[in-house]
Amino acid sequence: MQFFIITGASRGIGEALATQLLDDNHHIFCISRTSNHRLIELAKEKNNRISYHPFDLNNLSGIDQLFEELFNTIQHESKIDAVHLINNAGMLSPVAPIELNSADSIIENVNINLLAPMIFTSNFIKHTLELNIDKRIMNISSASAKYLLPSQSCYSTSKAGLDSFSKSVSLEQLNKEYPAKVVSVYPGMIDTQLQAEIRSVSSETFPYVDQFIQIAQEGKLQTPEYTADKLIEILFSEDFGSTVVIEEL
């Protein structure tokens, strides 16, 4: 049995990832604040295993307990072939010059985009330390980590942090007996709620908003399904982890 822990499975890229990963030999743990009933129903119809854990990633101190629950289930499986973690959940806001962002909004952005994936990774590695199996961590980052725009300082900073974190953990794993492989991926521009959010910001607050509107109008956004397909190709690739930051799908 292969296990997949996917955050942000309620919509967008995470939903497409979980949908495409449904398989007789897979058990998928989905994490987001809202349950995805469409996904749960689909898994039921196909007789595939899904466990949905409604969870707010702002609850950083609750992540240890969440992992106790996940690995209680995993350990009951007689044959564990692989365990994968996909840190996909993310948020864009606040989109505004830094002096206009409240402390709470800055904290929430860094919680969801950076601290939660760090604590998930820590727990994942701790719980799989003694397992001589295939262990893979895929962090969904963003080209915004590298290509900076005004009013996106929180998002860019948290994603750049995620890339550095992936590189650091990847280095650490080189010396481990049963290492986990780690990558950070820029998925492109995808037609999800997150992109709709960018387009809804005023041009006074975000001077580049018209360019994002134009990209959408010209049909240049990828579908979540296409993106998930490419991400899964990377996840299952032979050389997963050989390049830590993957900038193009």
Instruction: Give residues in contact with ligand NAP (CB under 6 A).
Output: 8, 10-14, 32-34, 56-58, 88-91, 112, 140, 142, 187, 189-190, 192-195
- 35 vs 179, which CB is nearer to ligand NAP? 35
Q: Vertex 151, ends 208 and 182: CA angle to 5°?
A: 100
- 25 vs 65, which CB is nearer to ligand NAP? 65
CB 105 to ligand NAP: min, Å: 12
Name the amino acid, one letter, at 23: D
CB 129 to ligand NAP: min, Å: 26
CB 30 to ligand NAP: min, Å: 9
Catalytic residue list: 155
Q: 23 by DSSP, 3-state: which?
A: coil
How far, CA to CA in Å, does 52 sit from each of 59, 92, 103, 128, 241? 17, 24, 31, 21, 28
- 170 vs 195, which CB is nearer to ligand NAP? 195
Locus of tokens 């993106």:
227
Strand partners, 246: 185
CB atoms within 10 A of CB 146: 14
